[in-house]
Amino acid sequence: MRIDDQFEYSVTLSDKSALTHWNNTILAFLAHSAATPEHLTKTLEADPQFALAQAARGLFCLLLGRREMTATAFEAYAIADKSRKHTAITDREDVVVDALNDWLQGYPTKSADRLDQMLSKYPRDALLLKLVHGIRFVLGQPSRMRSSIEGVISSYEDDHIAKGYVNGCYSFALEETGDFGEAERIGRDAVSIQGDDAWGLHAVAHVLDMTGRAEQGIKWLDDQPKAWEHCNNFGYHVWWHLALLHLDRGNIERVFELYDHKFRKDHTDDYRDISNAASMLVRLELEGVKVGNRWEELAGISDKRTDDSCNVFADLHYMMALLGDNRRQASDRLLTRMRTFGEEDSNEMSHVTKTAGSPTASGLMQFKNGNYFSAYHHLAEARPLMQTVGGSHAQRDVFERITIEAALRAGLCQEAKRMIDERTRIRGGSDTYAETRMAQATRMTQATDLMQSEHLRFRMG
């Protein structure tokens, strides 16, 4: 049977009782709610052959970036494909099934493109919009993430049930493309419309971090704890943002408190949680802070993920954890696997691994070994392509910091200054990190100039 969903578009069901659960699944997904799997399970219990729900299940699995979830995604595709061959489904549902297959074959950009084309035909479908948004985020495609939403945003009027969530996505896309003022305005509006819009809340936190307003960012998050208390592990990421803001203010004890009791209190093995923790420990160590034995549990998990090849962003954070705990064999194994996978150049992920992932992993290893000149050159090689590993500016900033640090430790002061200036320009404002490193580079340059002047004076006289 055909029945309209909450966006007033038809879905194909064999049991209409599945519709309420399906509508709830979409809203939970938009809110990054921990209840999303429960709603999806109820949907499929009511209608196991619901092709659109099965296809969404597969895409959700792939967004997790876990090797073992690929099998589940293939299973979901098989059910959805069989269902559509048995019962005619709508073109919108059909495209989501095809998009799942695109990604399973190794072409997530094709998947997002296909969904984008259908979104232009069904602009009020916030599920399509969020799926495109999520995939392009993983792929590091902020401009296309933004254009996707801008093509349909006029369809989300005040009566649209997902207006706040869509505004939250738009805010984040604006922030990632450097339109900080508009991003902040729309993000604040998103949270005022939908108080559980954790993505919109975090988009504003991004703006306040990027523009050097850490105190405002801390207040923004401190004042709205209920905006993310319903979250799945995305809640850990919001706590991570709060810790990042405290790090800028030098509140190290608070950073450790948030690490131990909020975003790393549960030793989960989700790559996003590992990246939160590993990147924070690296940032702390770059500031000369001792982190104790915190690397150990991260490395233990990362050691089991060296063969995943699902997500380059994940691989690089596994590498951080392994190096942080001095697991040389495991880090060598991961680097070898990345190089081998990259040389295959058989799909999108292998290409990104070759062009950005492997050079960065090599740079991280050289940095750990104290070979700072070599580390800088590996990292600088990958730097123009780092956006392709996915994630946000704030997340990838850890690689910027390591590259700048490598340049400073190698005595490459002019290169360090150039990168600091570029970083500040992209971020839209200076932060404590930029100020301290620029001062360090300036002192080093002055010392070098003085030594050269003294040497010249000695030779002349």
Distance CA(288)–CA(436), nearest Å, equals 13
C-alpha–C-alpha distance, residues 230 and 221, integer Å: 15
The average pLDDT across 286-292 equals 98
Q: What is the structure's pLDDT at 113?
A: 98
Measure the CA–CA gap between 147 and 127, rounded to whole angstroms: 16
Q: What is the pLDDT of residue 118?
A: 98
pLDDT band at 459 (very low <50, low <70, confident <90, very high): low
Q: Which tens digit of pLDDT belongs to each residue from 224-278?
A: 998 999 999 999 999 999 999 999 999 999 999 999 999 999 999 999 999 999 9
What is the pLDDT at residue 182?
98
Q: Reduced to 3 states, what is the DSSP secondary structure of residue 216?
A: helix
Q: What is the pLDDT of residue 55?
A: 99
- Does residue 401 register a pLDDT over 70? yes
Q: What is the pLDDT of residues 163-208, one digit of tens each?
A: 999 999 999 999 999 999 999 999 999 999 999 999 999 999 999 9
pLDDT at 302 > cutoff 90: yes
Q: Which of 238, 252, 314 is nearest to 284 (CA)?
A: 252
Find, among 355, 351, 312, 367, the residue nearest to 334 by Cα: 312
The encoded tokens of residue 439 equal 């001062």
154 contacts: CB under 8 Å, gap ≥ 6: none
Q: Give me the mean pLDDT over the 106-133 stretch.
A: 98
Q: Mean pLDDT, to the nearest integer, of 295-304?
A: 97
Give yes or no for a contact between 9 and 124, defined as CB atoms under 8 angstroms apart: yes
pLDDT tens per residue, range 321-380: 999 999 999 999 999 999 999 998 788 999 999 999 999 999 999 999 999 999 999 999
* Average per-residue pLDDT for the chain: 95
Query: How does pLDDT run across 3-13, given as a tens digit for each residue?
Result: 999 999 999 99
pLDDT for residue 461: 52
Q: Are 119 and 90 in contact (CB under 8 A)?
A: no
Question: Across residues 111-130, what is the average pLDDT?
Answer: 98
Q: What is the rounded CA–CA span in Å between residue 48 and residue 66? A: 24
Integer Cα distance of 291 and 282 in angstroms: 9
C-alpha–C-alpha distance, residues 233 and 225, integer Å: 15
Please, are residues 211 and 247 in contact by the beta-carbon 8 Å criterion?
A: no
Query: In the predicted model, what is the mean pLDDT of residues 65-72?
Result: 92
pLDDT of residue 455: 54
Q: Two tokens at 181?
A: 């003022």
Report the distance separating Cα 453 and Cα 443, nearest Å: 15
End-to-end CA distance of the chain: 97
The per-residue b/e assignment along 176-192, b for 16 or more CB within 10 angstroms, e otherwise, is: bbebbeebbbbbbbbbe
- Distance from C-alpha of 75 to C-alpha of 104, rounded to nearest angstrom: 11
| 3-state per-residue secondary structure call for 171-203 | HHHHHHCCCHHHHHHHHHHHHHHCCCCHHHHHH
pLDDT at residue 445 above 70? yes
Asked whether 97 and 81 are in contact (CB, 8 A), the reply is yes
The amino acid sitting at 93 is: E
* 17 — pLDDT class (breaks 50, 70, 90): very high
Asked if residues 164 and 190 have their Cβ atoms less than 8 Å apart, the reply is yes
Q: Does 457 have pLDDT greater than 70?
A: no
Question: What's the pTM?
Answer: 0.94
Residue 309: band (very low, low, confident or very high) from pLDDT cuts 50, 70, 90: confident
Can you list the domains of the chain with their CATH numbers? 1-155 (1.25.40), 159-249 (1.25.40)
- Phi, psi dihedrals of residue 4, rounded to the nearest 5°: -80, 140
Q: What is the pLDDT of residue 116?
A: 97
Q: What is the pLDDT of residue 434?
A: 96
* Model pLDDT, residue 329: 96
* Rounded Cα gap, residues 436 and 270, in angstroms: 33
* Secondary structure (3-state) at 207: helix
Instruction: Tell me, letter by letter, the H, E, C secondary structure of 341-364.
Output: HHHHCCCHHHHHHHHHHHHHHHHH
Model confidence at 452, pLDDT cuts 50, 70, 90, reads: low
Query: In 194-270, where does DSSP find H-type helix?
Result: 198-210, 214-222, 234-248, 252-258
Long-range contacts of 411-414 (CB under 8 A, 24+ apart): 411/444, 411/448, 412/373, 412/376, 413/441, 413/444, 413/445, 413/448, 414/445
Gap between the Cα atoms of 234 and 257, Å rounded: 18
The confidence score (pLDDT) of residue 460 equals: 53
Task: Decide if pLDDT at 451 tops 60.
Answer: no
CB neighbourhood size of 102 (10 A): 18
